[in-house]
Amino acid sequence: MALIRVPFLSGKSSTHPQNLISFIKLIVYLFTPDSFANKEACLKTVTSEDIEHLRSAIEDHYYFELVLDDIRLHGFVGHFSEGHLLPHTHSVQLFTHLHFYVAHNGQKIIFANVTTGSPELLPENGDLKEIQFTYGVQFVATT
DSSP string, the chain: -PPEEETTEEE--TTSTTS-BB-----PPTT-S--EEEEEEEEEEE-HHHHHHHHHHHHTT-EEEEEETTEEEEEESEEEEEE-TTTTEEEEEEEEEEEEEEEEETTEEEEEEEEEEEEEEPPSS-S-EEEEEEEEEEEEE--
Confidence check: pLDDT of 97 > 90: yes
Which of the residue ranges 20-24, 54-58, 82-86, 139-143 would you say has the lowest mean pLDDT? Answer: 20-24
Q: Which residue has the higher pLDDT, 81 or 7?
A: 81
Q: What is the mean pLDDT of residues 40-65?
A: 87
Q: Which residue has the higher pLDDT, 19 or 76?
A: 76
b (16+ CB within 10 A) / e for 43-54: ebebeeebbbbb
Q: What is the pLDDT of residue 37?
A: 78
Cα 105 from chain centre: 27
Q: What is the pLDDT of residue 67?
A: 82
Q: What is the mean pLDDT of residues 96-124?
A: 89
Whether 14 is covered by a domain: the verdict is no
Which amino acid, 11?
G
Indicate the number of domains in the chain.
1
Whether 122 is covered by a domain: the verdict is yes
Whether 22 is covered by a domain: the verdict is no
Q: What percent of the chain is modeled with pLDDT above 90?
A: 17
Q: Count of CB atoms within 10 A of residue 2's CB? A: 8
Confidence check: pLDDT of 131 > 70: yes
pLDDT category, 94, cuts 50, 70, 90?
A: very high
Which of the residue ranges 16-25, 56-65, 93-102 would you say has the lowest mean pLDDT? Answer: 16-25
* Residue in 83, 87, 73, 71 with CA at minimum distance from that of residue 116: 73
Whether 55 is covered by a domain: the verdict is yes
Whether 136 is covered by a domain: the verdict is yes
Whether 29 is covered by a domain: the verdict is no
Q: What is the pLDDT of residue 33?
A: 52
Whether 86 is covered by a domain: the verdict is yes
Q: Provide the domain limits for residue 98.
A: 36-141
